[in-house]
Structure 1
Amino acid sequence: MPRPIAPPALTVLRMLHDGPMHPYEMQQRIRQHAYDRAVKITHGSLYHSVERLAAAGLIEPVETGRAGRRPERTVYAITDDGRDAARLRMTELLAEPAEEFPLFGTALAFVNLLPEDEVARHLRRRQVALETLLAADQAVYEVLGKQGFERYKLIDHELALTRRRAELDLVRDLADDLEAGRLTWSGGRERE
């Protein structure tokens, strides 16, 4: 069974769905559409994904050229197999919940390694950081909306905002409960 298409590779296929382009243009469009807020994609992972997709026959070079003193650029197009692979991966991602292990969940699982007052202080710091991130996420969402992006191009941002709000609510509630003594543990040891 072949490995599933990773998010950076799916991003490349998404970019090429609109038409042939070279990786630098993909990078620019990823930033313009703020896809880099939904997918962790670096310059290196983008180029690596392009190489792997080309080797797998999911994209193909359609032209190579040089403009002035700039480096040679290869323009790629998605193949029929690439379209099929993207559709299959999208079906999996949309229909099948995947188990994810966020680091904050790890910290919450082992919260009793620290004293309650220290945890409350750290959670209050996290609360401030989350409030800042939420404001930034909301601003990006609103700017993209004002630029005329249709809602279907913004639903990943809606998910990010919803998750950020939910985490902020949880962090605020946990800190409140710790400070009020409604959430406690004794000495950091689990009971048998």
Structure 2
Amino acid sequence: MRTLTTLGLTVLRLLAERPQHPYELRQQIREQGLDRIVKVTHGALYHTVETLAKAELTRPVETVREGKRPERTVYEITPAGLELAHDRLRELLVTLTPEYSSYCAALAFMSLLAPEDAMKRLELRCVLLASELAASQTAYDTVVKRGTPPIALVEMRHQQAHLRADLDLTRSLVEDIRDGRLSWG
């Protein structure tokens, strides 16, 4: 396996907790709010599970059937899968990867708009950011109440920190435009 994708790492992390079938994995991704950091489609999840099994990073342990539902294969992580997950995680924790934000590009080209138009757009962004931050906090509180351990929620804290920083900067830009400290030359 060339490299472990974020979805692959997600699957391995969940399987490290306990053996599961892909449908359970999908439920866990939703319940733990991991779908906010990794894009998960039905097809991508099943493809990832198959790819991990072919690479012997996971292995099927049983096939179960509940009622009239189709058979479901339960997978567990292998020692090689756990080792690769550890290695990939160590790499990700120390790698600074440039992120190409469309908002950053918009800020760089904001002078194409009239100051009043830019300010109105930034004010709207503040409303949207505040709403997203509130929704994120609600989601965080919900998973905490379910008993999710804090270590499983650090990515949500990271996302909230980015939202707060974005909101603070955007509010500051609105004030700077309104007060004339940021003007178009």
Structure 2 length as normaliser, TM-score? Answer: 0.91
SS in structure 2 at match of 1:75: strand
Separation in 1 of the partners of 2:99 and 2:3? Answer: 16
Assess, with a 3 A threshold, how the Cα gap between structure 1 residues 66 and 146 changes in structure 2: closer, same or farther.
Answer: closer
Q: How high is the sequence identity, in percent, across the aligned residues?
A: 45
Corresponding residue for residue 68 of structure 2:
69
Q: How does 1:81-160 map to 2 (within 5 A)?
A: 81-160=80-159
SS in structure 2 at match of 1:154: helix
Assess, with a 3 A threshold, how the Cα gap between structure 1 residues 56 and 113 changes in structure 2: closer, same or farther.
Answer: farther
Separation in 1 of the partners of 2:112 and 2:55? Answer: 47
Gaps of 5+ in 2: none
Select between 57-66 and 151-160 the one with higher mean Cα deviation.
57-66
- 1:103 is displaced (CA, Å) by 1.8
SS in structure 1 at match of 2:73: strand
SS in structure 2 at match of 1:77: strand
Contact kept in structure 1, 2:31 and 2:143, CA below 8 Å: no
Select between 13-22 and 63-72 the one with higher mean Cα deviation.
63-72
| Pairs aligned (count) | 185
SS in structure 1 at match of 2:27: helix
- 1:99 is displaced (CA, Å) by 1.5
Assess, with a 3 A threshold, how the Cα gap between structure 1 residues 60 and 160 changes in structure 2: closer, same or farther.
Answer: same
Structure 1 length as normaliser, TM-score? Answer: 0.88
Q: How does 1:30-69 map to 2 (within 5 A)?
A: 30-69=29-68
> What per-residue deviation string (whole Å, max 9, x for no partner) do you get for residues 97-121 of structure 1?
2211122122122222322221111
Gaps of 5+ in 1: 187-192
SS in structure 2 at match of 1:76: strand
Separation in 2 of the partners of 1:74 and 1:90? Answer: 26
SS in structure 1 at match of 2:67: coil
Separation in 1 of the partners of 2:111 and 2:177? Answer: 12
